[in-house]
Amino acid sequence: MRREAPKSLADYTPLLFPGLMLVVFFVVPFSTMIAVSFFKRNPSGFYTPDFVIDNYARFLTAFFGGVLGFSLLLAVLVAVCCVAIAFPFTYLLTKRPRRVQTLWLVGLLSVLSLSEVIIGFAWSTLFSQTAGITNLFVAIGLMDKPVALLPTFGAVLAGMVYQALPYTILVLYPALVRLDPTLLEAARTLGASPVRAFFNVVTPALRNTIVATLIMVFVFALGSYLLPQILGRPRHWTLSVLITDQAIYQSNMPFAAAMAVFLVLISLALVGLTLLVGRKENAL
């Protein structure tokens, strides 16, 4: 198909609607947030327009820095766990008969319909001392007595991985289905065991897909807000929790906005860095 460059202003009309949507639902709110992040807090009411950088300065304390670091670390861990589990799983899934694949995908889609709240409380029950899985372990003789597995970091991680896993699989699935199966067979005829061939051939051939999926899960996990509160201790709370706390309970909009802007900037920087590293390696 030949593509012609748009000539007159009228040729741009199809862009009008998406452009408008982007402005109304992204540019305006985000600009407002940036503006608010420089406003001055008014303890008695809300905030007054101003230009102060106190909000950002306050952010650079050890406490908030720590929370930011923890949030990023958690999101990275969730992304890595999800891809590490989902990639081999999806790969094996694509080797199954069509009908089996459909059943699994439908099942995964139905998990997506669960809200974060339901997932959180389900896992908190599962990890509890009274009704949790440890009771099962006791029953089959693996443990002496049931214990509570929460609130712990592990519980937060498990819940968040569970929540993000269906997305990860659904994103990886199309790429893995399209992968040429003879690549793997070729590696096997050349003397690679199936596992080795998987790591030598499938993983590198899909590197861009894997990087894109990691970024997607990372961003997804960064916004997590409920699960860390349900399944973790306060020190496991993410920046999103603090932002909500500041914005809603402390009525400190400017500070909340500053944190949000900072979070967005840091995420963008990390994503950009990942892409840059990926591009460099590709060029080799």
Partner 1 sequence: MSGLDINAITKTFGNFTAVDKVRLNVPHGTFVCLLGPSGCGKTTLLRMIAGLEEPTSGAIVLDGDDITPLPTHKRNLGMVFQSLALFPHLSVGDNIAYALRIRGASKEEQKKRVEELLALIHLPGFADRPVAKLSGGQRQRVAIARALALSPKLFLLDEPLSALDAKLREAMQVELRQLQQRLGITTIVVTHDQREAMTMADLVVVMGHGRILQAAPPIEIYRKPADAFVADFIGITNLLPAEIDSAGRTTILGTAIPGLAMPVGVAKASVSIRPEDVHLGEAGGRAITGQVTFVRDLGGTIETFVEVGGTSIIAVATPRERPNVSVGATVGVTLPPESCVVLGP
Q: Which spans of this chain sit near partner 1 (rule: CB under 8 A)?
A: 180, 182-183, 185-194, 196-197, 200-201, 204-205, 207
CB of 133 to partner 1, least distance (A): 38
* CA 191 to centroid of chain Cα atoms: 38
Using the minimum distance from each CB to partner 1, give the nearer residue, 11 or 180.
180
CB of 186 to partner 1, least distance (A): 4
Using the minimum distance from each CB to partner 1, give the nearer residue, 92 or 186.
186
What distances in angstroms separate CA 2 from CA 5, 11, 166, one per listed residue?
A: 10, 16, 38
Using the minimum distance from each CB to partner 1, give the nearer residue, 194 or 272.
194
CB of 97 to partner 1, least distance (A): 12
Using the minimum distance from each CB to partner 1, give the nearer residue, 201 or 259.
201
CB of 12 to partner 1, least distance (A): 35
Using the minimum distance from each CB to partner 1, give the nearer residue, 50 or 281.
281
Using the minimum distance from each CB to partner 1, give the nearer residue, 5 or 283.
283
41 beta partners: 47
Q: How large is the C-alpha radius of gyration of the chain?
A: 24
CB of 197 to partner 1, least distance (A): 8
The span from the CA of 23 to the CA of 37, in Å, is 19
CB of 275 to partner 1, least distance (A): 18
The span from the CA of 195 to the CA of 50, in Å, is 61
Q: For residue 203, what are its two tokens?
A: 């993983």
CB of 284 to partner 1, least distance (A): 10
CA nearest neighbour of 64 among 259, 225, 269, 260: 259
CB 232 within 8 A of CB 8: no
Using the minimum distance from each CB to partner 1, give the nearer residue, 130 or 182.
182
Q: For residue 253, what are its two tokens?
A: 């909009």
CB of 192 to partner 1, least distance (A): 5
Using the minimum distance from each CB to partner 1, give the nearer residue, 148 or 210.
210
